[in-house]
Amino acid sequence: QVQLVESGGGLVQAGGSLRLSCAASGRAISERTFNKYTMGWFRQAPGKERELVAAINWGDGTYYADSVKGRFTISRDNTKNTMYLQMNSLKPEDTAVYSCAADYNGPLRGGYGYWGQGTQVTVSS
């Protein structure tokens, strides 16, 4: 019902920036329904557990992990059924596979039922 596709990952030097995008589609997605989905960005590095980086709900309430506050900004464009993660001042510790996730009318820190395949972000020193 919901398909999520990430883009924008790549290789960047420490201190640089990247902008990730997550496009949502499927039978359950339209301009009238996308705004009701809570959307989140997760990341997982080798040897580390998956963690929630940032999330945004239909009312534009947001959550950020302490490690990215002041550096990352999450946003959404409901007319395009797309979510974004602007990542500035990147650090080598940010290197991970970043995945987007969605949950219909769910809490920011709650369970996510739909997942993208992920995009690799590598930050060199």
Burial of 88 (0-12, 13-18, 19+ CB in 10 A): middle
**pLDDT band at residue 110 using 50, 70 and 90 as cut-offs:** confident
98: pLDDT strictly greater than 90: yes
Q: Are 12 and 123 in contact (CB under 8 A)?
A: yes
Please write the tens of the pLDDT for every residue from 58-70.
888 999 999 999 9
